[in-house]
A = this chain, B = another copy of it.
Amino acid sequence: MSIEEDIKQEQFKSEFSKAVVNIIYTHGWLHQHHQELFKRHGLTTPQFNILRILRGQYPSASTVNLLIDRMLDKSSNASRIVDRLETKGLVIRKQCPTDRRAVDVFISEEGLELLELMDNEMGRWETDYCALNEADAKELNRLLDKMRSAITAPEDTP
């Protein structure tokens, strides 16, 4: 269904303006499906993302700062997300031996197992829901990358 039909009303000022709304709407569509998957395993989206970063570093430790750096949705509160993952036994927190301010966070065995399970489901979902062929997906990536390439701060240019 086209974005106009989905959203009802609204004439867009331009194709670009429509694309902005379309990205927001499509993100919502994606988020809804992902969330459904995560919920079956008692996780939220940011908890899943943190687990994935931790696995990426495994068996090395990640500090909270590293988690913040790597998170897509920045400025989220990594500290409290780690709290909840620790409560569920999916991660382990240890004092960093070389810097007593820092905390070393590790994904646990349970965390690794859960993540593998969810990765498989996610893969199946992507197979089932993929309505784009290879060329389409490539073109979509190209356009999104191009979109973000807009001058970053128009008022800063001399």
Interface residues of A (CB under 8 A from B): 1-3, 6-10, 13-31, 56, 70, 72-74, 123, 126, 128-132, 134, 136-141, 143-151, 154
Contact = CB atoms under 8 A, between A and B. Distances in A.
Quick one: copies of this chain in the complex? 2
Contacts of A139: 139, 143
Nearest to A153: B128
A143 B140 contact: yes
A105 to B, nearest CB: 17
B23 A126 contact: no
A144 B16 contact: no
A150 B74 CA distance: 30
Contacts of A23: 23, 26-27, 30, 144
Contacts of A74: 28
B19 A141 contact: yes
A16 B31 CA distance: 15
A72 B7 CA distance: 7
Nearest to A53: B9
A136 B22 CA distance: 14
A145 B30 contact: no
Contact of A131 (B26, B30, B56, B146): B146
Contacts of A9: 56
B151 A129 contact: yes
Contacts of A26: 23, 144, 147-148
